[in-house]
């Protein structure tokens, strides 16, 4: 493709016009334009599809409960309280909704939040600090 472009660029205007004689240049230009736009569109759709697949994979990973989380709702609440005691700044990030506090969180909310903190590495980091 590059060789074709280079050879065409090296031709004089007169030579190009002579070679194009009898051709419908508007039709050729429109066909070329359509081909280029179709190629760009396919490339955009491929990137969008990849991003969408990665998004769905990430959401699936975050929504799967972790095996290393405590097994009972009460022990998960204790674990979350432990995290928030050691990382008070997490409370601002975790409880952004108005009138939302630790006591009003459902068991599913607590489990989901702990799972997200685990995926982010916060739980491992705190456990490592405890051991030190």
Q: Among 16-20, 36-40, 52-56, 91-95, whose mean pLDDT is lowest?
A: 91-95
Token couple for 39: 């190629």
Domain span at residue 21 reads 13-62
pLDDT at 67: 62
Domains: count for the chain? 2
- Whose structure tokens read 């916060």? 122
Mind listing the pLDDT tens digit for each residue in 43-81?
Answer: 999 999 999 999 998 888 776 656 678 889 899 888 888
Residue 18 placed within a domain: yes
Please identify, among 62, 83, 99, the residue that sits at the C-terminal boundary of a domain.
62
Residue 17 placed within a domain: yes
Mean pLDDT of 103-112: 80
What CA–CA distance (Å, rounded) separates 34 from 68?
55
Indicate if 56 and 80 belong to the same structural domain. Answer: no
The pTM (predicted TM-score) of the whole model is 0.48
Has residue 117 got a pLDDT over 50? Answer: yes
């Amino acid at each position: 493709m590059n060789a074709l472009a280079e050879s065409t660029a090296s031709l004089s205007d007169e030579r190009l016009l002579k070679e194009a004689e009898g051709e419908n240049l508007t039709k050729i230009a429109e066909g070329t334009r359509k081909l280029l736009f179709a190629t760009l569109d396919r490339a955009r759709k491929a990137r969008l599809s990849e991003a969408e697949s990665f998004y769905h994979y990430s959401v699936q990973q975050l929504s799967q409960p972790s095996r290393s989380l405590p097994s009972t709702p009460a022990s998960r609440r204790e674990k979350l309280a432990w995290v928030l005691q050691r990382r008070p700044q997490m409370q601002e990030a975790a409880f952004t909704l108005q009138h939302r506090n630790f006591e009003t969180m459902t068991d599913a909310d607590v489990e989901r939040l702990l799972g997200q903190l685990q995926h982010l590495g916060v739980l491992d980091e705190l456990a490592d600090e405890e051991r030190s």
